[in-house]
Every structure is written in structure tokens, then in C-alpha cells.
A = this chain, B = another copy of it.
Amino acid sequence: MSASGSNLKVAILGFGTVGSSVARILCDLKPQGIELTHIYNRNISRKLADWVPCEVQWTEEVEDILASNVDVIIELVGGLDPAGSWVRRALEAGKSAVTANKKLIAFHGIELEKLARSKGGHLLYGAAVAGGIPVIPGLQQGLAGDQVMRIEGILNGTCNFILSKMEDGAEFGDVLQEAQALGYAEVDPTEDVDGYDARAKLVILSRLALRADLDPNQIPCRSIRDVSAIDFAYARELSCTIRQISRAEIRGANLATGDVLASVGPMLVPKASPLAWSRGTENTVLVGGKYGGDVVFSGHGAGGHPTAVAVVSDVISIAHGSRAVDLPSRKTTIGGEFLLRHSIRFVVNDQPGIIAEIALALAEQGINIHAIFQKPGFGKGNLPFVVTVEPCANSALKRALARIGAMKCLLEKPFHLQILEPEETAG
């Protein structure tokens, strides 16, 4: 019920994948105290659905909704604009807003939450990270009493779909096409495969879990485009698989005394880690607390219905007068790099002295070789092999690889992956 005790009037803005699922759940479950009054979309006539009760107004005039007595707008249009300005105007008018828009929340969430509070409304965005998995309410309600030191997650279902198919033997390009055909990947897959979608989610989680307010543009992102099938073969030798991992960690006793490290990109993940277990479009989030230890959440991180569950849950929370716990965060700059073991894949025209030259270039950067793996079945003229190195910073390794890159015998640019080992972080 709204403040006045009557039904909470809600309007859906954007009747696409998530918006239509939200309407579907509201019409099916009819949660007590909630009344769907409007559905907005551009060119609305294409969208009309006969399972929506006739009392609901279909409109292509967003202004009508913003000027109406609607209590909550559910923003499912996506993107920074115009969606952001609609949310802002609704909050300014004292309405509440629920959104699944991670980009908007990553870039403008703090300001919008402040606005909501100052006007007496609520801004909830449980669907913005990991869709139907209640990580955000888990952090706000259930883990607020811990001091979270670390988050590691599989936050992008498209990348996970691609990489888990590659684990079964497919090549990147083929799986990307399949993902596009299935509607899991956009025609322009940049946001997903290059890590920007996951990065926005990591920013939101860092804010809620680590209380660190990071600038998305500062977080190093690496694409999964360069991962190839042979990398999975070598990963298996190391009892690992490869996943797009988003991680952030406080180095030191707490945020006030320590730095934050963060990154997004493909990593070697030990098969024993819960992060190696998600397949298909599943998401997994691990939250490491000082007092409560590791908590793992997993499930369907995307898709209309799972995402809609999180949206409807937020609307129900507002109807029940449940306010989001306001966890104060502080502006934080990334304070260094993870110090991790790496594996580096080379493809060479084999000749004497190659390992010596590689070892020298690594040693110049203070990096020690840990092991060398070579899978049988390749000729000397086109020989892939993998070198693992002891924990080092990515930047040092890149300097070494820049030198190594000039070696004549290389048939491909060397490709390196960090190995996920939570204990080894420092630097």
C-alpha cells in the first residue's frame, strides 16, 4: 500500500523483454496492494497484449505518466537517456522508481538515490545486477552487518554462455553467432564481450558491498574476444576453466585504511571454485566478508522472467513500506593491481633459445617462470605452448610481453590470462 493506505499505482515504462515479463507477473500473481495503471512505449500500438486487463492504460505519452498520480514508475527502457531523465523527473515529483538499468545506476545511482531520499520516494534496482538472483537485497539487508572485503562474480550471462560453450570445444566466433541467434547477444556484442556491462554491475556491487564508489571508466576491462579453444585445453592441464570474472577487493584492514583493486576480464578459474560451476547464461556472485566468510549466490542472471522477478520484488518492497538500507559509500580510486599468477600462451616456429629469451624478458620485469606446458600433437613449425609465471602485476607482464612480442619466431601475439586465486592478492 502507498503512504495513503490505498493501492500503490505503478506504471511500466518500456514494454520489451523485461517490461512485458513484469506485466505478465503482475497480471498473474496480482500482488496485494499493487495496481498496474499504465504501460508506456514508443509506437505503442505494436505492443498491445490481450492478457493485460482493460483498466490498464496503454500510452506513448510518457508525460502523461509523469504528470499522473502514479506512485511508482518501473523504468525498463534502458540506456542513460531518455530513461535517466524520466527517472529523475519521477523522483523529483516525489514518486518512487524501480529500474533494471545497470548503466544508469552505475553512473548516476548515488545522485538519484539522494534525490529520492530528499523527496520522500524510493529508488530500487535489485534487477540491475544478476537479474533474478537476490544479490542486491542480500547485500543491503542480509550482509549489511558484515565488513565485506571482496567480491568475485560472473555477472554477464552472454560471456558465460560463450565461454562455457567454448569449454565444450566450440570457437569464439561460432558461439557468438549462436548467442546472437538465440537472442543472448546483441548484434553489436561490445558491451557484453568487452566487459562494459559487467563493469557497470561491478561498480554497483562495489558500492553496496565494499562501500567503495568507483568510477566505471577507471576499472580495467579486458575483452574475451581473444580467448581461443586451445586456451581451454591448457586450462584443463591447470585444473581450471576460463570465465569472465569481475572482481573488486579491499587491500588492507578496511576501506578507510586500504586501497581497492578491481578488474573485469577473462581469467583462469580453478575447477574447485564455485565460479567455475556456472554454465550457460547463469550468473554467480561470491561475497567475502570479514566476519561471515564467503557467501555464494547463483542462478539466472538474465532473461525476461528472472529479471522481472527482481523488479516485481522491488515493487512489493515499496508497497510494504520496506525502505532500502542506505549504506554510505565513499568515492574511491583504484589503488593498484592484483598480484596474480598468470598463464601465457605462445605459438612459435620452434628453434633453440626461445625459452631462454622469454625467461630473460620476464626476469627483467622481476617475473619468475613457474612451469611450462606443451600439449603433444603439434609440429615444430606451429607449436603452441604455455608458460605459467609466479604472482606479478599485469602491467609488469605487459612490459615483458611487449619485448617478447618482437621475437621473430612468434606466429601469434602471446595471450595471457590471470589465474583466480583469492589468497594471493597484494601488490
Q: Which of B131, B140, B293 has a CB less than 8 Å from the CB of A300?
A: B293
Please, could you name 6 A-B residue pairs with CB atoms under 8 Å apart, sorted by A? Answer: A134-B143, A141-B322, A142-B310, A292-B299, A295-B300, A297-B297
Verify if A305 is at the interface (C-beta below 8 Å from B): yes
Of chain B, the residue at the smallest CB distance from A307 is: B292
Return the contact of A325 from the options B131, B295, B316, B324 (Cβ within 8 A): B316
Question: How many copies, total?
Answer: 2
Q: Within residues 141 to 189 of chain A, which ones have a CB less than 8 A from any CB in chain B?
A: 141-147
On chain B, the residues within 8 Å of A310 by CB distance are: 142, 145, 292
Query: Please, which residue of chain B has its CB at the minimum distance from the CB of A300?
Result: B293
Nearest Cβ on chain B to A126's Cβ, whole angstroms: 6
* A299 and B308 contact, Cβ closer than 8 Å, known pairs A141-B322, A316-B144: no
Q: Which residues does chain B contribute within 8 Å of A299, judged by CB atoms?
A: 292-296
Interface presence of A79 (CB below 8 A): no
The stretch from A25-33, A193-201, A388-396, A415-423 touching chain B is A25-33
Which size bracket describes the interface of A in this complex? 35 or more
Q: Is there contact, CB below 8 Å, between A295 and B145? A: no
The reply to whether B321 and A323 contact each other, CB–CB distance below 8 Å, is yes
Query: A252 vs B88: C-alpha distance in the bound complex, in angstroms?
Result: 43
Please tell me if A21 contacts chain B, counting CB pairs below 8 Å.
Answer: yes
Check A306 against B325 for contact (C-beta < 8 Å). Answer: no
A205 to chain B, nearest CB (A): 14
Chain B residues near A294: list those with CB within 8 A.
Answer: 299-300
Excluding A133-B295, A134-B295, 18 further A-B contacts by CB distance (< 8 Å) are: A25-B145, A25-B291, A31-B145, A132-B293, A133-B142, A134-B137, A137-B140, A138-B138, A138-B297, A141-B313, A145-B310, A146-B309, A146-B313, A292-B300, A292-B306, A292-B310, A294-B299, A321-B323
Point out the residues of chain B lying under 8 angstroms from A323, CB to CB.
320-323
In contact, B145 and A313 (Cβ under 8 angstroms): yes
Q: In the assembly, what is the distance between CA of A162 and CA of B139, in Å?
A: 30
Asked if A136 is at the interface of the complex by the 8 Å CB criterion, the answer is yes
Q: Does A128 interact with chain B (Cβ within 8 Å)? A: no
Q: Find A142's partner among B137, B325, B328 (CB 8 Å cutoff).
A: B137
Q: Is A107's CB within 8 Å of the partner chain B?
A: no
Q: Is A100 an interface residue (CB 8 A)?
A: no
Please state if B132 and A289 are interface contacts (CB–CB under 8 Å): yes
Residues of chain B lying within 8 A (CB to CB) of residue A314: 145
The minimal Cβ–Cβ distance linking A272 to chain B, given in whole angstroms, is: 10
Central interface residue in A310, A326, A328, by most chain B CB within 10 Å: A310
A120 to chain B: closest CB distance in Å? Answer: 12
- How far is it, in angstroms, between the C-alpha of A80 and the C-alpha of B293 when the chains are bound? 29
Query: Are A295 and B292 touching (Cβ within 8 A)?
Result: no
Residues in B whose Cβ lies below 8 Å from that of A324: 322
- Would A306 and B322 count as touching, CB distance under 8 A? no
Chain B residue numbers with a CB within 8 Å of A313 are 141-146
How many whole Å from A321's CB to the nearest CB in chain B? 5
Q: How many whole Å from A7's CB to the nearest CB in chain B?
A: 16
Known: A134-B143, A145-B31, A293-B299. A317 touches B309 (CB 8 A): no
Instruction: Check A143 against B309 for contact (C-beta < 8 Å).
Output: yes
* Known contacts A132-B289, A300-B293, A306-B293: A317-B328 contact under CB 8 Å: no
